[in-house]
Structure 1
Amino acid sequence: MFAVSLGDDGAELCPLEPWQAEEFLAHMDRGREHIGRYVPLPDVVADLESSRAFLQSYADKAAADAGRIYGIRRDGTLVGGVLFRTMDIGQGTAEAGCWLEPSAVGRGLVTRAARLIIDWAVEERGIHRVEWRVASANEASIAVARRLGMTREGVLRGEYVHRGQRLDAEVWAVLAPEWRQARQVR
């Protein structure tokens, strides 16, 4: 399996695959409440079978060129991830997302990992628009969108129900020309 370094702090980005379902479930168990504050991932990955099914759904998306999922490891331990929840190569659009367990928060891991996958999507796959949808109350994820140079395009009021509560979602996005220009400045 390959891994890409996220810096000199022992962090790396690597694919997540169905054979890693047990490790993925253990990771979800460590971060279940923290991760689940705004995203349904821990509610979907509740046992080994659902963990395997979730990872298989992304293996199927990758095979169809319709999505990708990557793990963030720190010193060999899975602590979070980034993904393309959707990818439409024909339209040149993708929706990126992320999650982290508490032990990994505040280290810039998601920002670094998201930069890598967005670079790949824009430069290798020809994606023109990358979206970042986030619960309006999720300040940490909004901060990542800002660090990525995304523009807040609007709020979808009452857009989804999570754990019995209706939440607003913000839509942030970056276009390929903006991404390339910002990359020259970094």
Structure 2
Amino acid sequence: MFAILLGDGAELRPLEPWQAGEFLAHLDRARDAVDPWVPWASRSTDLDSARASLQRYADLAARDAGRLYGIWLDGTLVGGTMFVSFDTAAGLCEIGVWLEPAGQGRGLITRAAGCLVDWAVRVRGIHRVEWRTRPDNLASRNVAQRLGMRLDGVLREDYLYLGVRHDTEVWSLLAAEWAGLSAGHGQ
């Protein structure tokens, strides 16, 4: 297994079905903070459903269509990042993230998402990286901006959560833009 050191005792590594117990314990701590933003958080409420959520991403990884990574802080799973979608033929991917309160305020999501952007662009040849978030998720919007993304537009009332429709902002970063940004930051 590999791990990417994120600094400050944190590391990024694959999150797989065999880790369902650890994932469920993490979600139980994080549920209130991440449920409004991450659709599968409210569906992963027991060991079987947590394993099913992880298996979905394992299946996507096997098809080269998505991936899931956890963020561990001092040995405890506190969040993660994922390729919600990944399409090398089209040159497109979407990145998603989540983090429980114990990991917030340390820049972990920005560093982890930056690793995914860098790998997608430099290694896999992805042309466009997307980031989708609700306009009221200021932490997510801030990460998109720190990664150098631009707001493309808003999908009006496309996200249903607890019976209420919410807008979704679509942010993006092009490979050429990342090359310019990462050259200046030593990525």
Letter in 2 for 1:81: G
Cα distance between partner residues in 2 of 1:86 and 1:12 = 22
Over aligned residue pairs, what C-alpha RMSD do you find? 0.7
User: How far, CA to CA, are the matches of 1:167 and 1:34 in structure 2?
Assistant: 17
Q: Is the Cα contact below 8 Å between 2:40 and 2:53 reproduced in 1?
A: no
TM-score (norm 1): 0.98
CA distance in 2 between partners of 1:165 and 1:177 (Å): 38
Gaps of 5+ in 1: none
Displacement after TM superposition at 1:73 (Å): 0.4
1:4-40 deviation line (CA, Å, top 9, x unaligned): 1002x10000000000001000000001001113222
State the alpha-carbon separation in 2 of the partners of residues 171 and 41 from structure 1. 20
Residues 16, 55 of structure 1: 8 Å contact kept: yes
The CA deviation string for residues 105-157 of structure 1, in whole angstroms up to 9 with x for no partner, is: 11100000000011001111110000000011100000000000000000111
Amino acid at match of 1:68: R
| Contact 1:59/1:68 (8 A) holds in 2 | yes
User: Which digits, 9 at most, give the CA deviation of each residue in 1:92-115, with x for residues without a partner?
Assistant: 100000000011111100000000
Q: Which secondary structure state, in structure 1, belongs to the residue aligned with residue 159 of structure 2?
A: strand
State the 1:41 CA deviation.
2.6
Gaps spanning 5+ residues in structure 2: where? Answer: none
Partner residue in 2 for 1:159? 158
Code of the aligned partner of 2:165: R
Measured after TM superposition, the shift of residue 178 of structure 1 is 0.3
Sequence identity percentage: 58
Residue number in structure 1 paired with 2:81: 82
Aligned residue number for residue 134 of structure 1: 133
Aligned residues: 185
1:95 is matched with: 94
Deviations 1:54-110 (A, max 9, x none): 111111111100001000000010000000000011001000000000111111000
Off by >3 Å, runs of 4+ in structure 1: none
Residue 6 of structure 1 contacts residue 13 of structure 1 at CA under 8 Å; is this kept in 2?
yes
Alignment partner, residue 176 of structure 1: 175
1:184 Cα deviation from its structure 2 partner: 1.0
SS of the residue corresponding to residue 126 of structure 1 reads coil
1:68 equivalent in structure 2: 67
